[in-house]
A and B are shown apart, each in its own frame.
Chain A
Amino acid sequence: MKKLLSLILTVVLVFSLVACTSDSSTDGDQPASGDNVIKIGVFEPVTGENGGGGFQEVLGIRYAHQLTNTVEIGGEEYTIELVEVDNKSDRTEAVTVASNLVAQNVSAIIGSYGSGVSIAAGPTYEEAQIPAVAPSATNPQVTLGNEYYFRVCFLDPFQGEVMANYAFQDGLTKAAVITQLGDDYSSGLGNFFLKAFEELGGEIVSEQQFQTGDTDFKAILANVKNAEPDVIFAPSSVATAPLLIKQARELGIEAKIMAGDTWENQAIIDNAGADAEGVALSTFFDENDTSSPLAGEFVTGFKEFLNGNDEYLNKNGGDGVAAVSALGFDAYNVVVEAIKVAQSSDSVAIKDALKGLSLDGVTGSISFDENGDAKKDMAYIKIIQDGKFMFDKTVKTQ
């Protein structure tokens, strides 16, 4: 009896280990056929604190891959294979899976959602001379000093400035900033907002930090309440946002709450409910913006793609089109275009092709500056109203 029990336990243990490791590196949808295969690595978090947003970005990439899964090089047709890895929103894990991608001989890499993991994996890609295109990593450090890292979105200094201006023009002059310790995205964006807001003549009345994984923000929020701000700027992850919003309202804080691009996620509204009303954020894309036919086509197609798969629909929280999905879509097309221009699956040639590339994406026209950053000068401000992200206005820099 004892032996049998220990045998069962061993089997359960082994099974749980296998079960946990086996889904950490799932491959792309279709197995590639024939010899002519070109591999693109997808370096995104699908678990961990950024798992929700990361998956939306992956969805954009998968949709783009579904539309364009071959590329012609030197008259021969190559099948594009996606190699997806999960960096688990963790910087240590990010370096491990980055090496994993390098070992699988990918020609280029797309990712990641979250600046911290991108910064951590940057040196690995640079050393292996494989170009990486980040869809939505907004921290300047991602591409700075790394010839192989590119991005298709705007940067945090711009985003911080946009939100500071937006708050100040609304007559809000006292701000509190809440950031996540050790998270490059959160502390970076918080800092840029802080500088821009002070330059405008605003006053920062409270600066608070919390640790990764914290779920209880009452103590720092009581400090914020005590400082009586008009506005709270709290760039943070999708997992943190609803907790922060709800606890702030619970403590009777009535200040306007604002954040950056990460908060454009239906999960925040679903979890925070009525407390999320009035929250403002800046983002890269608006599905209701009809000025670009390319974007309109993408929105229609992507909604069909989502509705065709229950898992996608469920994890995306409905058939709304997140900005990160659009950026993932653009990043994939940028990489494919670069392969076409380079006429090679060689990663260095693709990197060189990326530098001079110019492409009309669904999030606007994309070309890169000397740092590898997309030259983008427009942000969308959205406000949560009646349980939806409502477009408020676009902001351009001079």
Chain B
Amino acid sequence: MGSTYLLQQLLTGISLGGAYALIAVGYSMVYGILMLINFAHADIFMMAGYFMIFSFAAMPWPVAIVVVILGTILLGVTIEKVAYKPLRSAPRMSIMISAIGMSYLLQNLATYLFSALPQAYPAIPGLKKLIKLGDLNSSMVTFVTPIITIILVVLLMMLLKRTKIGMAMRAVSKDYDTAKLMGIKINQIISLTFVIGSALAAIGSILYFTDRMSVTPFSGTLLGLKCFVAAVLGGIGSVPGAVIGGFIIGITETTLIAMGYSTFSSAFTFLILIIILMVRPTGLLGETLTEKV
């Protein structure tokens, strides 16, 4: 009994961490390129949940998944073009406030359009199937989430390290102005960053909501903050850092709840943020920043 119990809790934690990691990567990448904390990211994730509810009702599920990912990408890129691009030369604070505004706009729009009542998330065939391994019971999606997360992140790392586009992205994140001088098309690179971030958020949303089965306009709020903490913990700007941060947060939260401290599980996450900012502001895998004069 003891070991199954531990395994069951560990599985829950890893699965939650996987979902966190996918969203944290989105925060981290945008920060790496634009030095912007994209507060609307969590709400893009929430909107992806609603996209799925509607497209699932209208078309077969494999098509619905593709439509959701494409729709979310479109939303993410549109937000960048409308709310962030015009402010690119403005002080960094302005663009951050614009991001906060976007976040509230999306939340209120969702409340207005879909009401604040929780909506049932559709069950994608196969993902909700029950799996039994001895005494260990769980649905397919719990097992699949961390695996998909790892695969996607490995693919993303390969894109960043092995391709020309990836090299361009790394260059932009290293030095925005010099990269521009070297003939890198900045706008394309930024759009691509939002495409990748939004696509990961869409996949994360499918995995997260399939496991939890309901969406509200505020589903993204607390989750977004936690994923932001995960990104900071891992070292904001670093993709593998965000993944490690996501898993750490997911597993610690589950551990605390399992130990009976559910009251403190969220508080602890933010305590981690405070401690990391005090002790190691660059995060676990973050590069130490040398201020250029």
Q: List 5 A-B contacts (CB under 8 A).
A: A13-B105, A219-B12, A220-B258, A242-B213, A252-B137
Report the bound CA distance from A49 to B214 in whole Å: 12
Report the bound CA distance from A49 to B258 in whole Å: 25
A-side contacts of B263, CB under 8 Å: 181, 209, 211
> Given A13-B101, A16-B108, A16-B109 in contact, is the A250-B138 Cβ separation under 8 Å?
yes
Instruction: Verify A47–B117 contact, CB threshold 8 A.
Output: yes
Report the bound CA distance from A219 to B135 in whole Å: 16
> Given A9-B82, A250-B139 in contact, is the A210-B262 Cβ separation under 8 Å?
yes
Instruction: Verify A5–B86 contact, CB threshold 8 A.
Output: yes
Give chain B's interface secondary structure class: helix
Distance to closest chain A CB from B105 (angstroms): 6
A103 contacts B by Cβ under 8 Å? no
Instruction: Verify B213–A251 contact, CB threshold 8 A.
Output: no
Q: Of A52, A219, A239, A243, which one neighbours B9 at CB under 8 angstroms?
A: A219
What are the interface flags for A268-311 relative to B under an 8 Å C-beta threshold, 1 for contact and 0 otherwise? 00110000000000000000000000000000000000000000
Identify the closest chain B residue to A210 (Cβ).
B262
Report the bound CA distance from A222 to B142 in whole Å: 14
For chains A and B in complex, what number of residue pairs have CB atoms within 8 angstroms? 100
Instruction: Verify B262–A16 contact, CB threshold 8 A.
Output: no
Identify the closest chain A residue to B115 (Cβ).
A47
**How many A residues have CB within 8 A of the partner chain?**
40
B278 contacts A by Cβ under 8 Å? no
Instruction: Verify A251–B117 contact, CB threshold 8 A.
Output: no
A-side contacts of B142, CB under 8 Å: 218
B218 contacts A by Cβ under 8 Å? yes
Distance to closest chain B CB from A278 (angstroms): 17
Instruction: Verify B262–A209 contact, CB threshold 8 A.
Output: yes
Identify the closest chain A residue to B9 (Cβ).
A222
Distance to closest chain B CB from A250 (angstroms): 5
A91 contacts B by Cβ under 8 Å? no
Report the bound CA distance from A225 to B105 in whole Å: 42
Instruction: Verify B116–A48 contact, CB threshold 8 A.
Output: yes
Identify the 3 closest CB pairs spanning chains A and B, nearest first. Answer: A252-B137, A219-B257, A47-B116
Enumerate A1-32 residues with CB–CB distance to B below 8 Å: 2, 5-6, 9, 12-13, 16-17, 19-20
